[in-house]
Amino acid sequence: MTPVLELRGIDKSFGPVQVLHDVAFSVYPGEVTALVGDNGAGKSTLVKCVGGIHPIDSGEYLFDGKPVQIHSPRDAADLGIEIVYQDLALCDNLDIVQNMFLGREHRRGIVLDEDTMEEMAARTLESLSVRTVKSIRQHVASLSGGQRQTVAIAKAVLWNSKVVILDEPTAALGVAQTAQVLELVRRLADQGLAVVLISHNMNDVFAVSDRIAALYLGRMAAQVKTAEVTHAQVVELITSGRSGDLGLTNGVTV
């Protein structure tokens, strides 16, 4: 299987600080790839490079096997890469439909085509089996944390996206809501999307992911199949960059 998104030898520095060293990262369609790593390992930077927010210094960026140039968030969005940030980026004073189409409204002439947008939003939420919202015309302010996360994810999949990157989607959620969001994450992958899940929570990672990519101090320590590793091995990869045969030796991937 070819990865839908593949990065090779990515370097990224902010001034004198090199944050990413020779990072390789692959994401496959129909799978959930968990991106793990300790604070400061470079997860957010890597995701922002993927999303076009930070330009990469050097390295290859392949999409569907073809090299591409990403200069802005627009470029990434045009390829079908959507990022759901931790702070959700929803407008409290707008309703669910308005938020889902924000910046990409359908219009007829200069008039907003509310009916089409409402239909599409309802269909998307239905396809994700989202059934917790009372009305898709309610303001986002009135939603719970889990519902807001759901809206943010639905917004990302509305655009025939191929890769959806979720930055700590369960960090602020309770137990039941976490289960709901993880269920949704799994369903996205089952629909054929490539999902990247950034998480600190090993239970979440093992619950939904197919692959695990572990970053350690700006280097990719290992990319493994979830089924082939144990909980303890992943923790070791995160904390020391290696675990037995896996991981970095003197800073180089074996």
> Of the two residues 176 and 252, which places its CB atom closer to another protein in the complex?
176
Among 26, 33, 44, 98, binds another protein (CB under 8 A): 98
Query: Does 60 engage in binding with another protein (CB under 8 A)?
Result: no
Closest CA to 19 of 49, 42, 53, 50: 42
Residue closer to another protein by CB (options 35, 96) is 96
Per-residue tokens: 254: 């074996």
Question: Residue 30 interacts with another protein (CB under 8 A)?
Answer: no
Question: Applying CB under 8 A, does 120 fall inside the site for another protein?
Answer: no
CA distance 37 to 40: 8
Residue 71 in contact with another protein, rule: CB under 8 A? no
- Please tell me whether residue 225 binds another protein under the rule CB under 8 A: no
* Cα distance between residue 153 and residue 197, in whole Å: 12
Q: What binding mask, one character per residue, do residues 129-168 give for another protein by CB under 8 A, x or -? A: xxxxxxx-x-x-xx--------------------------
**85-111 as b/e: b if 16+ CB within 10 A:** beebebeeeebbbbbbbeeeeeeeeee
**What distance in Å separates the CA atoms of residue 80 and residue 234, rounded to the nearest whole number?**
30
115 binds another protein (CB under 8 A): yes
Select 152 or 224, whichever has its Cβ closest to another protein.
Answer: 152
190 binds another protein (CB under 8 A): no
Least distance (Å) from another protein to the CB of residue 93? Answer: 4
74 or 231: whose CB is closer to another protein? 74
Q: Which is nearer to another protein, 84 or 222 (CB)?
A: 84
- Interface residues with another protein (CB under 8 A) are 73-74, 77, 85, 87-94, 98, 102-105, 107, 110-112, 115, 118-119, 122, 126, 129-135, 137, 139, 141-142, 180, 183
